[in-house]
Amino acid sequence: MQQTAVSYKERNFKPVIEKCDGCERVVADDGVNYCQSYLNPEAKWRLGICNFATHAKPEITVTKVRINPLKAAKRASKGK
């Protein structure tokens, strides 16, 4: 049984966009870079960060919550 290699171009993969530069999932085939995980990389970046991106991490914002001191004292006295 002979196996034939299929290129990314034959499988309807679209080339990566600028935001994909630096990702570990980018594969070069015939001088063009393709994403090995997704057919249309531009669609993954349309709503924000691509969930397959290995080079981009989402920004996490930490907000400080003000706790009522009376409620905190009651919770602490319950022995929780």
The residue among 79, 46, 7 whose CA lies nearest residue 20 is 46
- Which pLDDT value is given to residue 57? 81
Q: Strand 32-35 relative to strand 26-29: parallel, antiparallel, unpaired? A: antiparallel
29-80 residue pLDDT tens: 888 898 888 888 888 889 888 888 888 887 888 888 888 888 888 888 887 5
What residue spans define the domains of the chain? Answer: 6-56
Cβ-based neighbour number of residue 3 at 10 Å: 5
- The residues near 61 (Cβ < 8 Å, ≥ 6 apart) are none
Band of residue 28 on the pLDDT scale cut at 50, 70, 90: confident
Cα 6 to Cα 74: distance, rounded to the nearest angstrom:
67
64: three-class secondary structure by DSSP: coil
